[in-house]
């Protein structure tokens, strides 16, 4: 039966089953829910099912699914031969995070040189443009 | 996922063999979490590979503010959520149906597919409550399964699950309650319980 078709009290009780099992209900709420469970066989059966689900999930915690046998080999091969993104990303992250200070210095030096180069080229081209404008004006 | 801080530092220094040792120490836990969240062995293996690609890229940036195991757990959950999102989008676009070739008799994928789709009824014959629960969890909708795996199997608190999924704690509680109602229906044991 769909929960929405249940009597209100049964619906509310079933909504509290998890909290009841987790010991999260206060004294009064717990007494109300437990009293209903004693009187309503459908809700008592639902509570028993919830206990089985909880038992099953607890057992599941202890039984981790086994990885396929080839997975470890694949992972180790991947670690030894990272793709170009991996190869580029590791030193870059190391430089940014400061874990590889020599790379940080190299990146900063390269950045400064590149910025200086771009600035010098822009200054030269603006001077050439100014000269052309002056020669046209003359 | 317990990892020695010394091993993490060795990986950050790029010591030979350190990354191999890290993978050997953690890959079964990473795979198990991915397998439960994705409910598919092939997807879980792909997700595990993606996790270690991210680890290789990011291990130098790991500053040890939390335990490495917690960080790896978070990376795994994020990779799985990304995969679930991609699958959901692909399903919406009908891309999976279009890209899955027909299997012919004798195709090993058929066997794997049959194993994946063994439902609670099949497991009931084996009388194995944990296996039935696992099958039932795999049948849950993705958002419900994610909450059950993180909260009930991985043992995270409601607050931690809410933070990981970027939703409120109330949303987690509602999803968990609905997921358990569905689990009760899936795992219900016809012998005895219905008569109770």
Query: Which pLDDT tens digit goes with each residue over A49-68?
Result: 999 999 889 888 888 889 99
Do B49 and A78 contact (CB within 8 A), yes or no?
yes
* CA dihedral over B151, B152, B153, B154, signed as positive or negative: positive
Closest residue on chain A to B189 (Cα): A49
- How far, in Å, CA of B149 to CA of A65, rounded? 13
- How far, in Å, CA of A68 to CA of B40, rounded? 12
In this prediction, residue B93 carries a pLDDT of 73
- How far, in Å, CA of B43 to CA of B45, rounded? 5
Interface touch A60/B56, C-beta < 8 Å? no
Looking at residues B20-33, what average pLDDT do you find? 93
In this prediction, residue B150 carries a pLDDT of 92
Give pLDDT tens digits for A71-82. Answer: 999 999 888 876
Looking at residues A43-48, what average pLDDT do you find? 92
Mutation site, A14, A19, A39, A56, interface B, largest B CB count within 10 A:
A56
pTM: 0.69
| CA R_g for chain B | 19
DSSP state of B104: P
Is A100 in CB contact (< 8 Å) with chain B? yes
Looking at residues B22-50, what average pLDDT do you find? 93
- Rounded to two decimals, the ipTM of the complex is 0.71
Band (pLDDT 50/70/90 cuts) for residue B192 is: very low
**Residue B169 in this model has a pLDDT that exceeds 50:** yes
Name every chain A residue with its beta carbon within 8 A of the beta carbon of B194: 45
Task: List the structure tokens of A47.
Answer: 């509570």
Do B147 and B179 contact (CB within 8 A), yes or no?
yes
- How far, in Å, CA of B189 to CA of A46, rounded? 11
Interface touch A67/B48, C-beta < 8 Å? yes
Interface touch B57/A79, C-beta < 8 Å? no
């Amino acid at each position: 039966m769909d929960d929405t078709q249940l009597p209100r009290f049964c619906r509310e009780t079933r909504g509290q089953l998890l909290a009841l099992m987790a010991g999260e209900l206060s004294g009064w709420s717990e007494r109300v829910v437990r009293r209903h469970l004693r009187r309503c066989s459908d809700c008592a059966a639902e509570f028993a099912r919830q206990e089985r689900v909880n038992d099953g999930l607890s057992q599941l915690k202890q039984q981790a699914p086994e990885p396929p046998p080839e997975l470890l080999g694949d992972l180790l091969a991947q670690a030894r031969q990272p793709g170009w993104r991996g190869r580029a990303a590791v030193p870059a992250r190391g430089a940014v995070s400061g874990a590889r200070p020599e790379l940080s210095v190299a990146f900063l030096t390269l950045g400064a040189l590149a910025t200086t180069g771009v600035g010098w080229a822009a200054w030269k081209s603006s001077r050439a443009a100014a000269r052309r404008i002056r020669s046209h004006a003359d | 996922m317990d990892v020695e801080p010394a091993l993490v530092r060795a990986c950050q220094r790029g010591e030979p063999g350190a990354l191999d040792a890290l993978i050997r120490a953690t890959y079964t836990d990473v795979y198990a979490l991915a397998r439960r969240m994705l409910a598919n062995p092939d997807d879980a293996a792909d997700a595990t590979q993606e996790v270690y690609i991210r680890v290789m890229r990011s291990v130098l940036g790991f500053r040890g503010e939390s335990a490495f195991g917690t960080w790896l757990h978070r990376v795994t959950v994020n990779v799985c959520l990304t995969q679930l999102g991609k699958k959901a989008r692909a399903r919406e676009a009908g891309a999976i149906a279009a890209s899955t070739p027909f299997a012919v008799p004798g195709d090993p994928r058929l066997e794997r597919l049959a194993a994946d789709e063994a439902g609670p009824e099949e497991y009931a014959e084996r009388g194995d409550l944990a296996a039935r629960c696992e099958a039932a969890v795999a049948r849950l909708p993705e958002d419900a399964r994610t909450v059950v795996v993180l909260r009930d199997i991985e043992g995270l608190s409601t607050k931690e699950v809410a933070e990981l999924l970027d939703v409120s704690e109330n949303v987690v509680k509602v999803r968990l309650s609905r997921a358990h109602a569905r689990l009760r229906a899936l795992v219900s044991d016809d012998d005895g319980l219905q008569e109770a």
